[in-house]
Amino acid sequence: MNQVDLSKYNNDWFDEGKGTFIRTLWYFINVLFFINPLNPLSGLKVRLLRLFGAQVGRGVVIKPGVNIKYPWKLKVGDYTWVGERVWIDNLDQVTIGNNCCLSQESFILIGNHNFKTETFDLMVAPVVLEDGVWLGARSVVTGGISCKSHSVLAVNSVASNNLEAYAIYRGNPAEKVKDRTID
């Protein structure tokens, strides 16, 4: 069996966006006020996100147990709902539009590793959820994906390709199953 020599691994190019002190401070705020399921105060969470550089619109609801990697790489539009135990692992920019729903335990996972290289290099790419997108419970959106206006990613599905506007996707990898009509 071949061994991978991780001593050659170098991700010096990766910019976390803030210094060690701010990242450490955010780590503790995230643990105490976001990941902690005993804090139901959505308004406090929105204010803390803004304090750490996130752009957050009006009427945003953030439920308990949410995990956000870097708020300074997050933009959330108006009247978006972030459900229990959602994980936004935003090593790169995540943009979430207006009137979106991120259901319970859905994931936005930006980072991945290049398994084709000996050094297993880090790969990151931004994610965009346009207005009206609905991520079903335990669904996953990977780095570099754009979910177009009012698209739906069904429960337990994985978006590893862009989602068309007004379309419903299901499966792993997610495939379009039908058009979304809104009355």
Identify the bridge partners of residue 170 per DSSP, sorted by sequence position: 175
Of the candidates 92, 55, 93, 45, the one whose C-alpha atom is nearest the C-alpha of residue 77 is 55
DSSP state string for 156-177:
T-EE-SPBPTTEEEETTTTEEE
Architecture of domain 18-179: 3 Solenoid (2.160)
pLDDT digits (tens, 9 = 90+) for 35-74: 999 988 999 999 999 999 999 999 999 999 999 999 999 9
Q: Once rounded to an integer, what is the mean pLDDT over residues 143-165?
A: 98
CB 131 within 8 A of CB 147: no
Strand duo 94-96 + 127-129: pairing = parallel
The 10s digit of each residue's pLDDT in 96-119 is: 999 999 999 999 999 888 888 887
Question: Is-above-0.75 flag for pTM?
Answer: yes
Q: What is the mean pLDDT of the chain?
A: 94
Q: How confident is the model at residue 137 (pLDDT cuts 50, 70, 90)?
A: very high
In contact, 121 and 113? CB cutoff 8 Å: yes
Domain-wise residue ranges, the chain: 18-179
The yes-or-no verdict on residue 5 having pLDDT over 90 is no
Q: Bridge partners of 134?
A: 101, 152
